[in-house]
């Protein structure tokens, strides 16, 4: 279905051609094609052509030329797991493991409302956009009664910033009285969760090639939702033709919880509820044995790897090299900024390499180019958009980033991909979504950063006051 009539029309595609020249280019296509100095020609919202050397002479309708000397051009980064509202609770419970962290923060999160969610979404999206993210994902699963249109607030924030969005409409129906972690006042009923999820799909999901907003069905986790919500959520997603997302195999405590409650580990439990398949991706997947990895590979189930959050919460080291070797689709995720205060994806490129090398594969675990692929094409795969974004190829959407690589931070690193992945965060000179600028010379095009900082600070303080009673 196309967006409902209540949704604003998609921004018009840029007129004429935009030409980028004299850049190092990492296409992240299937062959890993790179150009030491090359060009791209963008026509409206698509990539028309690219290749080595300068752009062809005689191009017509060129409205802008960019001399990208000293820059690396890559596909825009794709974030596959996040919780935008957590922007307002950064820096809390900093020495907790996952279950204790959740218990500490759920009472605060249960007091969020629409203005808070809007501010948190704008702050999260702004930080990601400034760091090269062109497609973002929000797993929002806390819907307190009377809190307003939280899904609409997230969608509106992404539209304002100009970033593509997959909103995973989350839900929880297993409160503390039923053996779950969240307090009872923070959860919905089964019927409420399913109805609200379907309404969100009908209102916001866009199936078109250049969609700016897509919706996924996303019950939160095995320890916060009922088996019925998982099963009926999967049925709803497949009836509506949308993707499925949840947290899975994040901690040893989750493994123990599933075995005690369901008599099986998380992967087998998800399989029993219809939650393995090419239309499914799960966040974290840290504690997986060989059989779990084989099940994901056999079914095409994807993974959102969140190395910084996994380390922050002492969850462990995900077996990403083994997942990739088995053919499992893997993307990168920031995760919520209450467990990854940096809030941007470049950190995950670097940490994906470094954390993986702490595991049994050591220096052979992952290369810089594999990490870049996780953050671009891999993310597009798990979001179901690999035909549209994630690599620089003719016909794909013009979602790309110009990273400045000639400053002090990077100028002595000969390999621009290694400089981007392993070096300090590179300045973003230009970030395009569908050929439209969202960042220029390190500044947001569609929002004022100082105003965003004030707004998010005020809403964070208001939430803290409410939580304190």
Domain's final residue, options 349, 382, 415: 382
Domain's final residue, options 334, 358, 382: 382
Evaluate whether residue 9 is within a structural domain: no
Model confidence pLDDT, tens digit, residues 95-131: 999 989 998 999 999 999 999 999 999 999 999 999 9
The length of the chain, given as a count of residues: 469
Q: What is the mean pLDDT of residues 39-65?
A: 97
| Mean pLDDT rounded to a whole number for the chain | 95
Evaluate whether residue 432 is within a structural domain: yes
Q: Output the pLDDT for position 13.
A: 82
**Do 287 and 341 share a structural domain?**
yes
Evaluate whether residue 268 is within a structural domain: yes
Evaluate whether residue 410 is within a structural domain: yes
* Number of domains forming the structure of the chain: 2
Q: Are 371 and 352 in contact (CB under 8 A)?
A: yes
**Do 67 and 86 share a structural domain?**
no
**Do 291 and 187 share a structural domain?**
yes
CATH number of the domain to which 407 belongs: 2.30.40.10
Evaluate whether residue 463 is within a structural domain: no
pTM of the model: 0.96
Tell me which of 180 and 319 has the higher pLDDT. Answer: 319
**Do 405 and 315 share a structural domain?**
no
Evaluate whether residue 457 is within a structural domain: no
Q: Output the pLDDT for position 239.
A: 98
Q: Output the pLDDT for position 122.
A: 98
**Do 323 and 257 share a structural domain?**
yes
**Do 136 and 48 share a structural domain?**
no
Q: Is 91 exposed, middle or buried (0-12, 13-18, 19+ CB in 10 A)?
A: exposed
Model confidence pLDDT, tens digit, residues 235-276: 999 999 999 999 999 999 999 999 999 999 999 999 999 999
3-state SS string for 420-460: HHHCCCCCEEEEEECCEEEEECCEECCCCHHHHHHHHHHHH
**Do 34 and 92 share a structural domain?**
no
Both tokens assigned to 261 = 């409650």
Q: Output the pLDDT for position 62.
A: 97
CA 41 to chain CA centroid, Å, is 27
Residue 376 gets which letter from DSSP? I
d(CA 346, CA 185): 36
Q: Output the pLDDT for position 12.
A: 79
Helix (H) or strand (E) holding 302: strand 302-305
Q: Is the pLDDT of residue 234 over 80?
A: yes
Domain's final residue, options 354, 382, 410: 382
**Do 100 and 38 share a structural domain?**
no
**Do 309 and 250 share a structural domain?**
yes
Q: What is the mean pLDDT of residues 276-303?
A: 98
Question: In the Cβ-directed half-sphere of 391, how many Cα atoms lie within 13 Å?
Answer: 20
Q: What is the mean pLDDT of residues 49-72?
A: 97
User: Helix 114-130 vs helix 449-468: angle between axes, to the nearest 10 degrees?
Assistant: 140
**Do 237 and 144 share a structural domain?**
yes
Q: Output the pLDDT for position 388.
A: 98
Q: Is the pLDDT of residue 7 over 70?
A: no
Dihedral of alpha carbons 46, 52, 55, 57, sign: negative
d(CA 363, CA 357): 5
Q: Are 343 and 128 in contact (CB under 8 A)?
A: yes
- Measured from the Cβ of residue 360, the count of other Cβ atoms closer than 10 Å reads 11
Q: Is the pLDDT of residue 5 over 60?
A: no
CATH number of the domain to which 244 belongs: 3.20.20.140
Among candidate residues 76, 128, 173, 112, the one with its CA nearest the CA of residue 372: 76
Q: Which residues pair with 469 in a beta bridge?
A: none
Using DSSP's 3-state secondary structure scheme, residue 29 falls into coil
Measured in degrees and rounded to the nearest 5, phi and psi for residue 202 equal: -60, -35
Q: Is the pLDDT of residue 11 over 90?
A: no
Q: Is the pLDDT of residue 8 over 70?
A: no
Q: Output the pLDDT for position 177.
A: 87
Evaluate whether residue 345 is within a structural domain: yes
Q: Is the pLDDT of residue 426 over 60?
A: yes
Evaluate whether residue 173 is within a structural domain: yes
**Do 277 and 423 share a structural domain?**
no
- Boundaries of domain holding 271: 77-382
Q: Are 58 and 12 in contact (CB under 8 A)?
A: no
**Do 348 and 399 share a structural domain?**
no
Strand residues in 161-261 grouped as ranges (E): 164-171, 213-219, 243-248
């Amino acid at each position: 279905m196309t967006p409902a009539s209540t949704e604003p029309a998609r921004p018009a595609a840029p007129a004429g051609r935009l030409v980028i020249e004299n850049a190092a280019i990492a296409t992240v296509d299937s062959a890993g094609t790179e150009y030491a100095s090359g060009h791209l020609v963008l026509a409206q919202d698509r990539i028309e052509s690219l290749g080595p050397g300068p752009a062809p002479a005689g191009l017509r309708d060129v409205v802008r030329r960019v001399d990208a000397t000293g820059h690396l051009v890559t596909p825009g980064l794709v974030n596959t797991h996040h919780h935008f509202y957590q922007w307002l609770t950064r820096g809390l419970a900093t020495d907790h493991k996952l279950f204790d962290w959740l218990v500490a923060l759920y009472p605060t999160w249960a007091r969020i409302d629409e203005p808070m969610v809007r501010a948190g979404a704008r702050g999260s999206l702004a930080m990601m956009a400034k760091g090269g993210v062109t497609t973002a994902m929000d797993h929002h699963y806390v819907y307190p009664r009377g809190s307003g249109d939280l899904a609409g607030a997230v969608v509106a924030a992404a539209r304002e910033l100009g970033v593509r969005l997959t909103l995973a409409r989350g839900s929880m129906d297993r409160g503390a009285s039923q053996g779950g972690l969240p307090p009872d006042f923070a959860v919905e009923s089964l019927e409420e969760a399913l109805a609200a999820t379907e309404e969100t799909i009908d209102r916001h999901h866009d199936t078109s090639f250049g969609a700016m907003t897509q919706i996924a069905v996303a019950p939160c986790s095995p320890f916060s939702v009922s088996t019925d919500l998982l099963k009926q959520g999967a049925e709803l997603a497949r009836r509506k033709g949308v993707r499925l997302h949840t947290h899975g195999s994040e901690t040893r405590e989750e493994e123990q919880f599933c075995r005690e409650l369901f008599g099986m580990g998380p992967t087998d439990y998800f399989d029993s509820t219809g939650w393995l398949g090419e239309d499914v991706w799960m966040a974290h997947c840290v504690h997986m044995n060989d059989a779990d990895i084989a099940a994901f590979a056999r079914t095409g189930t994807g993974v959102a790897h969140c190395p910084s959050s996994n380390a922050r919460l002492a969850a462990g080291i995900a077996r990403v090299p083994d997942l990739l070797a088995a053919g499992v689709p893997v993307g990168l995720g920031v995760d919520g900024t209450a467990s990854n205060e940096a809030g941007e994806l470049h950190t995950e490129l670097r940490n994906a390499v470094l954390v993986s090398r702490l595991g049994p594969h050591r220096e052979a675990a992952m290369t810089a180019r594999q990490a870049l692929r996780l953050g671009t094409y891999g993310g597009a795969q798990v979001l179901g958009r690999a035909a549209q974004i994630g690599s620089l190829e003719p016909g794909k959407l013009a979602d790309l980033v110009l990273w400045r690589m000639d400053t002090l931070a990077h100028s002595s690193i000969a390999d621009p991909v290694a400089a981007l992945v392993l070096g300090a965060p590179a300045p973003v000179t230009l970030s395009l979504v569908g050929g439209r600028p969202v960042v220029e010379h390190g500044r947001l095009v569609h929002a004022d950063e100082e105003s965003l900082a004030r707004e998010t600070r005020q809403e964070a303080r208001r939430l803290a006051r409410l939580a304190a009673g």
